Amino acid sequence: MSLDGRKKQLLQFLLRVDRPIPSGKLAKGIGCSERTVRNELAQLKEWVRVETGLNITGKPGVGVTLEGSPIERKRLAERLQEKGREADDDRGDSDGRRRTLLGVLLEADQPLTTEELSRKLHVSRTTVHADLDWVDSWLRAGGLSLARRPNWGIKVEGTERERRFAISKLREEALPADEKLLADLLPDLSVIREEVRRIESTMPYPFTDEGFTNLVYHLAIALHRIRQGQKIRMPAEELQELAAHPEHQIATQLAGALERRFSLRLPEAEIGYIAMHLLGSRIRQWGSDSEREIRHTLGKTDPEARRIALFLISRMEKALQLPLKRDDRLLTGLSLHLHSALNRVRHGLRVDNPLLQETRHSYPYMYETLLDLLPELARKEGIRFGAEEAGYLVLHFQAAAERLSRSPGRKSALIVCSSGEGTARLLEAKLERFFPELRVTGTVAAREVALAVRRHRPDILLTTVPLEHSPVPSLQVTPLFHREEREQLHRLLQGTLPGEEKESQQMFPVLKRLLHPKACLQIRHRVHRQELLHLLTKRLEAIGAVSKDYLESVLQRERLASTTIGNGVAIPHGSSDIVRKSGVAAAALREPVDWDGESVRLVFLLALDQTERERNRSLFREMVRLADDPETLDAIINETEPGHWHHYL
């Protein structure tokens, strides 16, 4: 097998880090789809194993890892270096080169010419010009822009706050652009970690591992930029609002400690910046805290989080027809999550959700039900959550739904989770449902495992992150706890595998029943997304499923978040409040249409009667299963008679 540019980029990406990388981040990093990444990795696995002895492993919801010894990793790096010397520099690791260019521009406070950039990156000016469009697009997604003027140069423009967020994002992606930056930050990291740990012990709730790490790096970047003479500016009103929070007092203490340790002065705006990150950092509960203690503390410190949690629970209870108000853990976990999420929204802190695609894929009905509530939340409370935050909220509600169907009686298990409260709660609910013999004694961060094992004495550890040493039997799983992971736990416990649901013997019975033959289209010419939705809405109107107002509802839903479900399939839909009867219209496209960055060739426009909840849940499960069935998808797309699509369902 020959290593083309994309395969080389994937291997170089995996070599640079020693932790799992989500396939979405790999796809974004090398500029292709997740499906392409999966195909490339499948081809690389055997070559890597035979040629180097390394193994490429992947876990859904966690990411892809290159496993092996340092000697084997070095051997692969040398092989790639040899391959690199055979190619022209300008056609080498384009992804790494672009991000190195991005890092140089983010660090520069004065305009740089293409000639200067060409010398710094050791590539031609033509290559620099070609890469600048990618850099500009990356920056705009983060609220920055790239100014390019003749006889002046190229410079990143935007606020210092947005620039720091961008530098932090580069750090998270663990690419070559970070190497110089990390070298500048490394001497400060151990001291900052020490001070953050000390201040964490004074807070009502500890950080998640992810929240702790992100805070440490944001502080390191802040110190780095302050030494360069670049300081945060904040409006007086925002500083005044931040000063009213208890976290501002903690930020002041932390700033004083950093000033003493690093012999520099932090202006008031920088203290506000620290307070902002303290407020937005993801937190979790102490294992010993009761639900009542947490709600009491939050009721005093953040009544708004509890009020919005109650609002969402009330609306979701009505939509799902589940007794969610009786679930104390849902109210507690959701309030705790919203405490951070609301502050992130208020202060413009961006959040990446590595589980978003997996959440949409695994729980489409829960995800869509929650998204339907967000416009009302925006109107009544002025709170606008994006898809990333919505994905985290879904985990809380899915965990509650799982708890409602669990069986009593459990043994002893301890959960190790590095992300948020919702992720841990979902895994806990899954365990209680599928393994009622397991009693969950608590949830801890990876850095607390040794102490927690001594305190709780669990029989087994269930961890979402790799553990170097485990004092008791352990199993690494994803928060979504897929069937194969349940089977592994079953083998570990040497018991029966409870709670499995039997799959329907029919492939897509609900879709087959709702998809009207007269509402199926095969479109051979290029069509725009909005035009396509108009055509499909007309078909639903013709069969009496909706009125003409449905199109506007569909377009509003499209503005909230993408309705693609992978492998070139999209399932747009509007509000169920204005549906006359359930129905589905579909279109197969000879020319793919761009759908929020994904090429889509098969579109199902859904109109669902809200009173038929169980059928709607089944339909969403079928749609996800269809998206994972390439043979059926190809058969539908290639069938020249749309009226015959039923034969493949």
- Catalytically active residues, by annotation: 573
Burial of 110 (0-12, 13-18, 19+ CB in 10 A): exposed
Measure the CA–CA gap between 232 and 247, rounded to whole angstroms: 18
Find all residues with CB under 8 Å of 389, minimum gap 6, and list them.
Answer: 341, 344, 345, 351, 353
| Residue 104: partners with Cβ closer than 8 Å, 6 or more residues away | 112, 117, 120, 121, 177
Could you tell me where the DSSP H helices lie in 93-235? 94-107, 114-121, 125-140, 160-173, 178-200, 209-227
Burial class (CB within 10 angstroms; exposed 0-12, middle 13-18, buried 19+) of 143: middle
Token readout for 242 is 């931040």
DSSP string computed for 354-403:
TTHHHHHHH-HHHHHHHHHHHHHHHHHH-----HHHHHHHHHHHHHHHHH
Angle at 380 between CA 533 and CA 281, to 5 degrees: 95
Say if strands 569-570 and 598-607 run parallel, antiparallel, or are unpaired. parallel
- The whole-angstrom separation of Cα 214 and Cα 258 is 17
Query: What are the tokens at 67?
Result: 């496993």
Dihedral sign (CA 438, 444, 445, 448): negative
CB-based contacts of 27, cutoff 8 Å, min separation 6: 33, 34, 36, 37
> Which helix or strand (DSSP H or E) is residue 613 part of?
helix 613-627
Helix, strand, coil % in the chain, rounded to nearest 5: 60, 15, 30
Helix (H, G, I), strand (E, B) or coil at 628: coil
Residue type, 351: V
Which SS3 state, helix, strand or coil, does residue 579 take?
Answer: strand
Helix (H) or strand (E) holding 443: strand 438-444
CB 570 within 8 A of CB 595: yes
What are 614's two structure tokens?
Answer: 């169980």
Token digits of residue 298: 């939050």
Beta strands in 490-537 (DSSP E): 515-523
